[in-house]
Structure 1
Amino acid sequence: MRSISGLMILVAAATFYLYLLSTNLPPGPKRKPSEDQREKSGEDSDPDPGSEEVRTLTFPSDLEELQELAELLKFYKTEHTAYVLLLFCSAYLYKQSFAIPGSSFLNMLAGALFGPWQGLFLACVLTTVGSTYCYLLSRTFGKQHIVRMFPEKVSLLQRKTEENRSSLFFFLLFLRFFPMTPNWFLNVTAPILNIPMSIFFFSVLIGLIPYNFICVRTGVILSEISSLDDLFSWSTLLQLLAIALVALIPGALIKHYSQGTLKLDELDKNGHQLDKKLR
């Protein structure tokens, strides 16, 4: 119970910090009311320049919310770059550290806000650091609880990890390139599997580059389109195809290496079923 209470205190403190950061916004853009709102209120002129809409920031759950959030933060970035960077890093580390799904939207937001290369750099660093925090939290607070909640899944991963101990780094890269289990589950089970932190750190940093690359580049493209017609244009489709092909190259190399080196038979058979049960 002590471990659970300690973890809950950390979650509560981090949530409170993120809440304060997202609600104490610097002065932002003012929005004019729509024509319908003006007709209802009987106003034909612009609103009072001193009036400002109260803004609250939330994690995006779909592409429309992502675009709206990106547009808002782009304004703040021109005036308050340090604030936007701190807010983005804090939100990303919050999700990664506590194994909360939804990193793909934040990766796309990184591309929309910081561009393709700075966004990719940020996504890779934050993914790695956040996953390492998750590793440490699991090792400190949750090992016994994870084994109790997912005994069969942990047992399968533990068995395959031991079989591939001589090629552990490439085994972990394979799991990142071809996620038969969710990334968050690999993060929380890594201490149970006795994976050294250094190997875990670099396997996340390198293994998630293709995934981060696809998401960040997609975010860059989405930030440049204004309608669905733009999304399905030949230019956009060719860019997405090129991104997918580039991201597939590292995975193809790892898969070629794994065929003669790694032992994945049982994992191949049960991996997709394991992934579905953990979603």
Structure 2
Amino acid sequence: MAAPRSLTVEPERLIIMRGDLETGEQLDSPASKKNLGTRFPLTRWQFGLVFSVFVVFAIGLFCIYRNMPPLEYGQLKLPRSISDLRILKDHLGTYASVHPTKFILGYCSTYIFMQTFMIPGTIFMSLLAGALFGVIKGIFLVVFNSTAGASSCFFLSKLIGRPVVYWLWPGKLKLFQAEVAKRRDKLLNYMLFLRITPTLPNLFINLASPIVDVPYHVFFLATVVGLVPAAYITVRAGLALGDLNSVKDLYDFKTLSVLFLIGFISILPTILKRKRIYE
């Protein structure tokens, strides 16, 4: 009997690993690079809508920070390396313990803002959660913020995302649409597999899911459950920042093997069902 299609990972489907869960996405295909040179796909009103939503989020974030207890804001910046993260962790450690509620509010608002508008760096925010809050609270915060940000991105893409995704990833979108159509009866299992494994970037999943008619409840459940393994890996790494040299160290062969094993378990019901049909 031929191998089930669910287990086949063709070269074009294996996207570059999410070294950063949200920032490692590369527009590496020739088609994508060619499309980037064409006219920007959004109309004026669509761009205005995105800009308006961005401004509303930014104002809300600014108001939250203005009402937080005094802090040396000059020392705050989004980390871009592990060394930046170590400095930020040392600076915020005492502040987070003295003002835990307001700090978590600011942390969550920043994370969701970055996730919604695809701003690089959320992997460092996840590591920071582990360094400051420990495993249990850190995982909860990362999964909560990732799900909230992904949901915001989902609905924003539902409004104006179609031309952008067609512009950036026409080939990947066509492939994703075909795969979703084939797995309508077990779509949750398939979406779980995508969330758990680095087969497709989270950014692409967030933007493309509403375009290929993935129901929000399936998207939401797959995100909440599917991001737990990766959140655990990242948060645990945040507890030992001194031993971490690069975000690439998070995803060695052993870690990837575990993620794909968990992903395989998530699609096992689909494989067994197809096997019964063909027998």
Report the TM-score, using the length of structure 1 for normalisation: 0.72
1:12 aligns with 2:55: yes
Residue 158, structure 1, aligned to residue 177, structure 2: yes
Amino acid at match of 1:250: I
**2:255, 2:92 → 1: CA distance?**
25
Shift of 1:109: 0.7
- Per-residue CA shift, 1:104-125, capped at 9, x if unaligned? 2111111111111011011111
Query: Aligned equivalents of 2:171 and 2:96: distance in 1?
Result: 47
Partner of 1:254: 266
Greater RCO (CA < 8 Å, at least 6 residues apart): 2
Q: What letter corresponds to residue 251 of structure 1 in structure 2?
A: G
User: 1:21 Cα shift?
Assistant: 4.4
Question: Is the contact made by 1:176 and 1:183 (CA closer than 8 Å) also made in structure 2?
Answer: yes
Greater CA drift, 66-75 or 240-249: 240-249
Classify 1:16/1:58 alpha carbon distance in 2 versus 1 (closer, same or farther; 3 Å): farther
- Structure 1 residue 208 displacement after superposition: 1.0
What is residue 268 of structure 1 aligned with on the other side? none
Mapped to 2, the partners of 1:67 and 1:124 lie a distance apart of 22
* In structure 1, distance between residues paired with 2:73 and 2:222: 42
What is the identity, as a one-letter code, of the residue corresponding to 2:49? G
Does 2:140 align with 1:121? yes
Pairwise CA distance, 1:6? 0.9
Distance 1:114 1:243 in 2: 23
| Unpaired stretches in structure 2, ≥5 consecutive residues | 1-43, 275-279
Equivalent runs, 1:123-138 vs 2, <5 Å: 123-138=142-157
Deviations 1:14-57 (A, max 9, x none): 234434545776334xxxxxxxxxxxxxxxxxxxxxxxx66342
| Cα deviation code 1:58-114 (max 9, x no counterpart) | 211111111111122211112211221111001110111112232221111111111
Q: Is the 8 A contact 1:22 1:57 kept in 2?
A: no
Change (3 A) 1:55 1:211: same
Query: Could you tell me which residue of structure 1 aligns to residue 46 of structure 2?
Result: 3
TM-score by length of 2: 0.72
Work out the CA distance in 1 between the residues paired with 2:190 and 2:119: 24
CA distance in 2, matches of 1:54, 1:136: 32
Is the 8 Å Cα contact of residues 161 and 211 (structure 2) preserved in structure 1?
Answer: no
| 2:164 alignment partner in structure 1 | 145
Give 1:57's aligned residue.
Answer: 76
8 Å Cα contact 1:18/1:90 also seen in 2: yes
1:112 equivalent to 2:155? Answer no
Write out aligned runs for 1:94-243 (5 A). 94-222=113-241, 225=242
Determine which structure has more spread, i.e. the larger CA radius of gyration.
1
In 2, the alpha carbon distance for the partners of 1:55 and 1:24 equals 17
Count of aligned residue pairs for this structure pair? 227
- Structure 1, unmatched stretches of 5+, are 29-52, 263-279
For residues 252 and 156 of structure 1, the distance between their equivalents in structure 2, rounded to whole angstroms, comes to 20
Aligned-residue RMSD, C-alpha: 3.0
Contact 2:115/2:146 (<8 A) preserved: yes
1:219-258 alpha-carbon deviations (Å, 9 max, x no partner): 0122xx4xx6xx69xxxx9xx9998887665235236556
